Amino acid sequence: MSKRSGLIPATRAALTALPVEVAPRLLGGVLEVTVGKARVAVRLTEVEAYHGAGTGPEPDPGSHARMGRTARNATMWGEPGHLYVYLSHGIHSCVNVVCAPEGQAGGILLRAGAVIEGEDVAFARRPAARVARDLARGPGRLGDAVGLRHPVHDGIDAVTARPRAGASARLWLPVVARADVEAGPRVGVAGVAGTAAFPWRFWISGDPTVSPFRWGRGAGPTL
């Protein structure tokens, strides 16, 4: 695999800070996934940070790991650089990059991106998409486009690219952090966790692949 211009392979060390600190650095990075012989690469344009119990200075009520370690969220408590792949609404596999200091838990949800390689493969997996910008515009769509599936790919290592269940993943990070990054409340997260109290959603300003914003249940601009 050749080195990508302006990007470097992700390392454990680069992902050991708090998710809210690491998340903006993923923007403009690339997630490459190979399933069988089919490869799809997505340039990341929108992400959200989530902290587990005891991670960071304030509890995150929107996190899957807010109550501690469970069978579902175990990957979030492991080594940085693995991918936490969970099932949303019983249908879509959503992809998170695990990152946090040692002994803590956290993940960065990959909310959206632009398919830069393997567009034909992504269209085959996402036949409802009418235009390229919609292939990975939203976390469920992104998971479908790259081909990672819960539960077989949960825990796949995006640092070593070691194969798991017929797939491999590699995360690339920008050498220089982007300056055109915006931040705001997370999409569709219920209660205070989805308000301006947690401006933990980050996106590339003006990028057409960024997903539409919507308030979660019980959240809103006045809370």
CB-count burial class (<10 Å; 0-12, 13-18, 19+) for 112: buried
Q: Which residues contact 8 (CB under 8 A, 6 or more apart)?
A: 172, 173, 175
Q: For 153-179, how does the pLDDT look when each residue is reduced to its tens digit (9 = 90+)?
A: 999 999 999 999 999 999 999 999 999
Give the start-to-end residue ranges of the domains of the chain. 7-204
Rounded average pLDDT per 10-residue block, the chain, 223 residues: 81 98 98 98 98 96 96 96 94 96 95 98 97 98 98 98 98 97 98 97 98 94 62
Q: What is the identity of the amino acid at 129?
A: A
Contact present, 137 and 110 (Cβ < 8 Å): no
- Tell me how crowded residue 79 is: count the other CB atoms within 10 A of its CB: 17
Q: For 110-145, how does the pLDDT look when each residue is reduced to its tens digit (9 = 90+)?
A: 999 999 999 999 999 999 999 999 999 999 999 999
How many Å apart are CA 172 and CA 168, to the nearest integer?
14
pTM: 0.96
Query: Into which CATH architecture does domain 7-204 fall?
Result: Roll (3.10)
